[in-house]
Structure 1
Amino acid sequence: MPQPYLPSRFGVFLAPYHRPDRDPALQLRRDLDLVVELDRLGYEEVWAGEHHSAGYEIIASPELFLAAAAERTSRIMLGTGVNSLPYHQPLILADRICQLDQQSRGRAMLGVGPGQLPSDAHMTGVDPLESRAMTADSLDAVTRLLRGETVTAATDWFTLREARLQLGPYRGRELEVAVASAVSPTGALLAGRHGAGMLSLAAADPAGFATLDTNWTAHERACAESGRTADRAGWRLVTPVHLAETREEALRQAEFGTPDLVAYIEALGGTRLDGCATPAGAVRRWTEEGLPTFGRAVIGTADDAVERILQLARKTGGFGTFLILQPDIAEPAAALRSLELFAERVVPRLTGTTDARAASLDWAARNSERFTGALRRATAEAIAREGEVR
């Protein structure tokens, strides 16, 4: 059986999730500091979300946040994760993304979707039943604009008259677009029709995990129907991860922030979650049964993270990028150490960057007697020659 296509790129998906009784300016500053650390650690991507209500996910404009991050970093790619298309006039959004791409010198990526929070849709007057159709309308216009086309289009919620971008992507490059995909094949089909990548936000959820392979099949079919070839390198999977030296230590550290996340989920859903009465119980529920929307977290060691990613690769047949969902699970120092452990111990095992070193050590060990024997003989001969001279 052939080996699955393993991810070669790694990044962080930053909604972010911040408890609402803390200073937002400090929370946002820490998020920017985190992007700087990701750049230093060699992560390839960071994605920032767009939300407008409920108090936890406090980035309203991912472009503003990522522009600030661009000034503090040098190489990490910067994605909007995601812009909610029904809330934006397509020309204005495409223009803002191109400005970000110019300011960051080609590091912008556009993630798109219908919007996750019903409260956002309510405040903006968007009917959730219409949001997917609105997303499809907008994505068609946005992708055409990004390709440099002049677009005239009219729907029941936006109009474009000879619309064209005055700033295209940086130096004429093709700006990467990724479409959010959860359980239904809607996102996968949209991505295929427009030559975009897939951003599987529900990969950790049991229902989302179950449909990963069928959604990819739908994506391949949509690509073929539009005259394109599906590319696994453009497929991103998102999973919550927190690592420590031991599984016990990671579980204990996660007790810091998991209860706050549970409180957020309960407030949005209007129900109490079973098994979450204590911090330890909440962590156990998250790793075993999973939490609504967030699925099953990997809270443990580097070995646990490798095993989950291999499981995802086997289920999907392979994907290009693994993204760590980064809520405030642990205190800042422990959260940073988790990202360091992932970069130090998980990434090399999946990309094979340390294979040559291991093979070299194995070769030296297998031939040690031959090498040391020659060294002993050379030493003995040198001593003998020195004695003869004397």
Structure 2
Amino acid sequence: MSLHLKRLSEADFSSMAYEWHVCVENSTANPVFLGWPWLYSWWEVWSQVLGLELVLIAVYDEEGALIGLGPFYRRAMLTSAGVRVYRLYLIGSAWRLASTVRTEYCGLVLPEGREDEVNDAILSAVAKLEWDELICSDVVGRDIARLSPALWPTANKPSFINRMNDRGVRVKTQGAFDDWLTGLGKNTRLKAYNRRTYLRELGELTFGAHDSENHGDFLKRLNDFHVVRWGKPVFDEDALRFHQLFIDRLPLGGGRAELTTLNFNGDCVSVLYDVVVGRWRMNLQAGFIEDFDSKVALGLLHLGFAVESAFKEDSVDFYDLLAGGGKKHFYKSHFQGEPVEFSTFQLVRNPIIGFLYWLQGIAPGPASRLFNRKIGL
């Protein structure tokens, strides 16, 4: 079988929403973070300010249909030691480069049934480009294997350096909500569900949808809650612009925003920012009044309503809580979901840079930090 590969331009990227959506639908890729609305909005907000070069590899089948995507970018950097380093990244991540929104489930878009063939084709194309290291952030197990050094078609195989691991939780929602609820620990069930009764004895408690077309007000309220709780907004100016673009574009990727509020006696006390694409519902952010009532954990209570809503939607298979912990503990582990392990790693094919990383790795803590400041990698 013959595949055709093409490196796409920024103009191509901007105009391929539908084609990209069909490609993702027929793939094993995460439909939110590897969908066109997320990745193109990320590129539009941060590519110019960070000086990024698009390296977007498209794979077409024998009939000319788009079946695979390698969403990369390249950036040249000059270290403090005066060494020029070419880095490849997966679009959506900027590890150690800048603070942007977090993109999880990063990887390649590969068609079901032809994953190996298309994966090999993309790696072969990328291997011909000039780069010293490839940085892959928040990649899950199956996609880590797809980028394994052993699969790269070069005599000089890249070396693998693991940098960071994180974990998330996703709840399967195909069964009955009551069964999931029964499986929770007593304390978690109290916080995520039973406290509804307590609040309804005190006043009017309602869970409802916010007008997604008026998402600016919703995002502002979310930021305001975070300022009170954390001392700073969750979204800076660039991130706000990103999320506004992303929400507007979600329908182009077959999705929608689920912006919900929890109201008590007519006042909004909690907001939850979810999105639904394909068979996934994902919780991107939450904000609430922390000292609302000593007996009530508003964030967990609101999540309980959202999970129940996901169980009621036949087309949704997962409610994904994504990576990251809470303010005090990893509350997601109590939600009776399956764990998801994320890895951030580098593939280094420049032997000199690889040796420098090795030296940095074996040096004691203070020496390693000094070494890094001097070399600037």
Under a length normalisation based on structure 1, what TM-score does the superposition of the two structures give?
0.28
Which has a greater percent of strand? Answer: 2
Q: More relative contact order in 1 or in 2 (CA 8 Å, sep 6+)?
A: 2
Which has a greater percent of helix? Answer: 1
Q: Which protein has the larger Cα radius of gyration, Structure 1 or Structure 2?
A: 1
